[in-house]
Amino acid sequence: MDLIVFATLGALATLAALWLKRRFLSFTAQTPDDYATRDGPQFDLRRHLNGPILCDGVIYGPTGRVTSRFVGRFEARWSGDSGVMKEHFQYDSGTIQDREWSLFLSEDGRITATASDVIGTARGWQRGPAVQLKYRIRLPESAGSHVLDVVDWMYLTPAGTIVNRSQFRKFGIQVAELVATMRPDEKAAEKAAEKTKAAEKRNAA
């Protein structure tokens, strides 16, 4: 009998420790206010997610091993506090994926966003050098059409690169993690500037 009691207490203590770790000591425990008073460059979606952007990243599976690598090319445009960001991903498997975000940034730093594969509205905050976004996403049919809960964080480095880390969960269990970097695509920006100059010359002729 004592053995059963001790085993039960041990199991409860383990569950409590795991809950406390996730609640206070894990990736999902961080909040936007943790970064509100940080020194250094401050994240502004309208500035740092604007124009052509180059993205490189990897996706970890539930075993902690890299299951996919990708390159992304984004194009973001803002009009006041409203923006549209088009994402084009190419994975190492040859798969292509496109997504278009509609973004809105409130004066207090609150973010709302929508996309075709996002269920409802994504919500988050811009605070100091960090941006948080939470949403539910439906995977493509080729990936089983599963609906996953996503916690998405972006951190601005002093050099202007954005480090992105996202975790994906199903029924509270982590099934994947994404780590990526985003930076201005200078070559694409130069090509766009050249096209603009050429168009201006034609119009002036």
174-189 pLDDT tens trace: 999 999 999 999 887 6
In angstroms, rounded to a whole number, what is the distance separating the alpha carbons of residues 186 and 9? 59
Per residue in 134-178, pLDDT (tens digit) is 999 999 888 788 999 999 999 999 999 999 999 999 999 999 999
**Which tens digit of pLDDT belongs to each residue from 93-131?**
999 999 999 999 999 999 999 999 999 999 999 999 999
The tokens describing 121, both together, are 């509205």
Tokens of 17: 């420790």
Q: Could you tell me the pTM of the whole model?
A: 0.81
Tell me whether strands 96-105 and 66-79 are parallel, antiparallel or unpaired.
Answer: unpaired
Enter the tokens of residue 189. Answer: 């920006």
- pLDDT bin (cut points 50, 70, 90) of residue 9 is low
DSSP string computed for 133-166: EEEEEEPPGGGT--EEEEEEEEEE-TTSPEEEEE
Tokens read off for 111: 């973010």
CA angle 93, 132, 171 (to 5 degrees): 65
